[in-house]
Structure 1
Amino acid sequence: MQHPFRFLASLMVLAVVAACTLPRGAAIESEVIRNQDNDDAAFSVVPITKDNVSQLATWPTTGWEGHYHWFARDPGPKSNVIRPGDQIDLVIWDNQENSLLTGDTQQNVALTGITVSPNGSIFVPYIDEVRISGSTPDAARRQIEEQLRAVVPDPQVQLAVTSGPDNSVDAVRGFNAPGTYPLPNRNYSILSLMSAAGGISDSLQNPLVRVIRGGSSYEIRAGDLFDRPSANVILRGGDQIIVEEDDRYFVALGATGSETIVPFTQERINAIEALALVDGIDDARANPKGVLILRDYTRKDLRADGSGPTKTQVVFAVDLTSADSLFAARKFNVNPGDLVMATESSVTSIRTIFGLVGSVVGVGNALDNN
């Protein structure tokens, strides 16, 4: 005869099954995308396939501009040029007697600390203004010698330049030794500056190098700068270099290997790489057919002709059991701010129910044996 307590326990299991509200660590796919076909649905669902992945790549980018803007390398000549604000030191030699420049007992005169004016000129006694901005130090020396010949038969000039603001660059922050650094020549590269500034601070994760020049900003990830020789650009006077953390991230939730905020470790991350960064999906819980990428667009991004999103909220779906979807997902980039969710398999709920039933039956059997 069945024990009354066992019967009562069975009723309790049936109540749990009927309620169908079991504790879970992630949503089931159907729960996330329910009501997708309603006309008033706030979102659309777009499966990622080989047939549409190329078109999806043309949709508006979200979370950033879509790529970092870096300039082409322009080595320029190997000699520096004089700029306004530089300090010039002149030593003029004149061996003739009764020289206009030197005294009776000396053969040279030193003119130090001459600042190149905003119009690019310096004042030299007896020849007035000499424009030297844009000239190399050697060319400026020859030019001064040539103009001095009108008053000095055989002058010889020594010229030294101390770089001013227009011939210096600023390592603003993100370095172990920030500061202002003169450009020793026109081939002074950004890697040379970073070395002089003590390298990138160890406290920065995923560092991004930014150069501000003439009101424009140029960015590159530090790893790409180190790996690509062509990215080692030549600096110009007035450049400001800032190193800061790449603040882009996506969020991983659900039955992924880990639920966390994931920083971008490279310039672009595709959907498969995003899953790899969170240790894939939980084999015991996840629905491999229901990996979802949730993204927000602005109203100005919407395209009525179907060439872009038709709603501001879009759910992109990846089926990890389909080779077609897997190959397409390798070409689909996750954007900063995206939510990557691995939905839970409905089988997990069934297993939970059977587990509960098994527990109750075990209790019932124990009661019967008493």
Structure 2
Amino acid sequence: MAVMDAQPGTTGPAGLIARLRAKLTGGSSEASLTRRLAGTIFVIRVISAGLAYVSQVLLARWMGTSDYGVYVYVWTWVLLLGSMMDFGISASAQKIIPEYRTSGEQALLRGFLSGSRWLTFAVSTLVSLALAGIVKLLSPWIDPAEELPLYIGCMTLPAFVVANTQDGIARSHDWMQLGLMPQFIIRQALIIGLTAAAFLLGYHLGAVAAMVASAGAVWIAMTGQMLVLNRKLADHIGPGPKAYDIRGWLAISLPILLVESFYMLLSYTDVLVLQQFRPSDEVGVYFAVVKTLALVSFIHYAMSATTAHRFAEYNALGDKARLSAYVAHAINWTFWPSLAATIVLLAL
């Protein structure tokens, strides 16, 4: 170490910056790759949060707080149900795909890459039709201002669910931008663009118009993501027979769904319950403010999205030492940045 410290170019500010850059982004090691991918995810989520704040401010001003509260209420239902209606396959993809790759089961891999999306689309479509029927049955007890936006929300769910599934597939191949940008950047930008166009053209921008714009944004972003993902998969995996182990997929996915469902309930129940007790305008204000705390959770999201499929891969290989070291690395790069972000938020 003494010899290395004495080498030219490693002392002074320039050397410190070089070492810091090498630690954070340099090299080709798995740890460096993980940090780069996690950094990419974090940047995407921060940009998404910025777009979400902009859209909340603009929609609240263009729509009025009451209509905005109705929109937030319906959109929260879409987020909650859409995140659960894929049976946990978007998360289990990060276990299933690496295991199929490691074991060389190409037929099952090809089957999962296409069959998982068809499965989630078919089931989410049926569930959406059933939910629309429930809205119809409960219409005498539902606020008339909420009824049509709820129907539009039901139409949004299949595309939302397929986009989640494609996100899991893309992240399992380290295609983080393809997995996250359609949902967190493109979709948000489309919602802002479509609602702004309606507002500038003089249309009444109520909860119905905002939900139509949101549904269109979800379907457009999902379709574009599907086209790019299919092209990349075709370049990455050769054509051949497909095998479908739906029972095996669900055996892995449903326990994950159970855990994630409780997490989703914790994330969204506050808005859904608040709507039953407070006016819609207060719900809109609450929703806009409370999401500030989500900034810290982006760090955990970035690391988990980057590392989950590698945990599965190392476990499948039986490389316990490598797995243990990688887990320790993931913990360190989750805890310390989260602590720093929390301190910054408290200071602000």
TM-score range, shorter chain: under 0.3
- Of the two structures, which has the highest relative contact order with CA contacts closer than 8 Å and spacing of 6 or more? 2
TM-score (norm 1): 0.20
Q: Decide which structure has the larger Cα Rg and report it.
A: 1
Identify, as 1 or 2, the structure richer in helix.
2
Identify, as 1 or 2, the structure richer in strand.
1
